[in-house]
Amino acid sequence: MPDLVFTRRFSMGHRLIHGASESCALPHGHNEFVTVKLSPTHQTRLDGKGNMPVSFQKAKSTWHRFVDEKLDHALQLAEDDPLLGWFQAHEPERARRIVVTPGDPTTELMVCLMMAKINAFLRAEGDMLRCTELSLQETPTNTVTFSGNPDEIIPMIRPPAECWWQRADMSISDAT
């Protein structure tokens, strides 16, 4: 069965506070492109009529809504970033737009969290497709691609089922 590949653009802000890059310790932003490759969970013959197991529209609608409504123009912060606490105390409405990650929100981590999230959506929508590869282009010259099981890469901070990236909802944080 053919794979489906599609891309979505979004703008984001983040900062990395754990020392990987001093220039990234100040909040800054990127215009990113996320590309997903969806593969059928079961190989079947095309039916000779519609000739697609799932339409592009159905396959991408929830994911595009998540990217557009939750990731676009959101701020990505580590769950121990003091800036998160400031937003929660002083601007709680804006704090709801912060993507909270286990450790620094690097592109390497974000590809894994995003793959886990799209797979949660796909399971909830009938488990006909699975994301088998996800790439995140951070700049025109830097892209991170991941294929595999994101659960084996994402830091274990609590039982995985309790984490926002494992739920088929529009959540981007478990911070209260």
Q: Give pLDDT tens digits for 105-118.
A: 999 999 999 999 99
Residue 141 lies in a domain: yes
Q: pLDDT tier at 176 (50, 70, 90 boundaries)?
A: low
Residue 133 lies in a domain: yes
Residue 18: which domain range?
A: 4-166
Residue 82 lies in a domain: yes
What backbone phi and psi angles, to 5 degrees, belong to 68?
-70, -40
Cα 29 from Cα 131, distance rounded (Å): 26
Residue 10 lies in a domain: yes
Task: Report the 10 Å Cβ neighbour count for 117.
Answer: 28
Q: Is the confidence at residue 67, as pLDDT, over 70?
A: yes
Cα 16 from Cα 176, distance rounded (Å): 21
Which one has a higher pLDDT value, 54 or 8? 8
DSSP letters for 87-130: HHHH-HHHHTTEEEESS---HHHHHHHHHHHHHHHHHHTTS-EE
Give mean pLDDT, residues 62-80.
97
At 135 the three-state DSSP class reads strand
Residue 172 lies in a domain: no
Handedness of CA 124, 137, 162, 89 (dihedral sign): negative
Count of structural domains within the chain: 1
Q: What is the CATH number of the domain that holds 81?
A: 3.30.479.10
Q: What is the pLDDT of residues 119-173, one digit of tens each?
A: 999 999 999 999 999 999 999 999 999 999 999 999 988 777 789 999 999 999 9
- For residue 101, what are its two tokens? 């990650």
* Mean pLDDT value across the chain: 93
